[in-house]
Structure 1
Amino acid sequence: MHLIDLQAYLSELGDNNNRAWFVMNKPRYDILRAEFLQLVTELITDISKFDPAILGLEPKKALFRINRDVRFAHDKSPYKTTFSSSIVPNGRKKPSEGGGPAYYFQMDGTGRLFYAVGEYMPPSDRLKAIRTHIVTDPEGFAKVLKDKKLKAQFGTLQEEGKLQRPPKGFDADLPHIEQIKLKNFMVWTECPLKGMDTDELKTTLLTAYRSAMPLVSWLRSVPA
């Protein structure tokens, strides 16, 4: 994939976020989208070597649309200024829909690569199930938090939107109560794309994704 071309396109789209510009530059978009689809196709194949649950996922189902849903948004810009993908076994792109842990990444016009693994804003029943599983499997959850490769790649679970107090039904003195307060069960990080080619991009993502398998496996063990 031509990462420099993608960055330039997304940067220009950010400066000209309107339908007229998008239509005039549609041929550029189509080429870049096809290249991105090929990248995701290769990632699915490689991820499935250490996570067979991904095998057989249709690559197109792992891509996010570039059109924004502006119905309830203050910002009415019609297009996203990122190319992004969420690789989930059942093809659901939103863990908030109950898709389970995902391998996510996005690239933007500033030349940043953002990548994450886990569940972002799971629905309330799923969130309660994860929290309950922490209570019933504290040792298994502790192993995830202490995993050296996971910590080296991502650090700890992100705390965006963390509750100030324990959620209803969970005592304050429970083991891992600080993690029980989380609304997301994800690890993520970012790095510059500058100087990367496609092979280096894939290596970066696959190394990180493989390191996060303890988290993926634990989340999949949560009873439905």
Structure 2
Amino acid sequence: MTQLNWSDPPSQTAFPVAKAGYPFIFASAFATAVFALLGVGFLAMLGLLATGFICWFFRDPDRLVPVGEGVIVSPADGKVVKIEPVAETPYYPGACTRVSVFMSIFNVHVNRSPHEGTVRRVNYYPGKFFSANLDKASAENEHNALLLEGPDGKQVGFVQIAGLVARRIICRVQEGDSLGRGQRFGMICFGSRLDVYLPVNAEIKVTVGDRVQAGTTILGKW
């Protein structure tokens, strides 16, 4: 049986919401209140529905994280859309295996660290906004790449990729910071993709088409 623990302290609220969503929630709630005070019932109802959807979109549930040596967990909720060997990439030193997780607008969008270790590199690349499920999105879309080095010296790369609708990448860590496995480090607003780059000798535990959860689903082991 897999052992689990908390990567972050559990929230003190019944429905945790990511801080990045607060401005959107407050703006929608304010507009709803204005419409209600003006007696515009139809718009007030639409505003209420929009506020509820935004709260739901920015939900940030607590997650129990698997314990074990060499365990690599998914950094995002979504669907595994590609697993392939990569001979060379700017996001990882040497040959590796890339696992791509596509997040639809219905998934939780908070991103979590796939492994424990020290952040060795954070590189932001401005770019275009093709649909995140296209191959060219990895190189041409706006993205933020991180390289994490574990206590044993092994490294894992992971890249936040903006999409057709997603226009905001949030990353709250910088070079030299330490992350625990499954710990929150950022999010992408309104649907996108996460690519994970693992050592070629890592044992992949998922297949294309699998549904995964950030911090909970084991992508692989080394």
Please state which band the TM-score falls in when normalised by the shorter chain.
Answer: under 0.3
1 or 2, which has the higher helix percentage? 1
Question: TM-score by structure 1 length?
Answer: 0.25
Question: TM-score by structure 2 length?
Answer: 0.25
1 or 2, which has the higher strand percentage? 2
Structure with greater contact order relative to length (CA < 8 Å, sep ≥ 6):
2
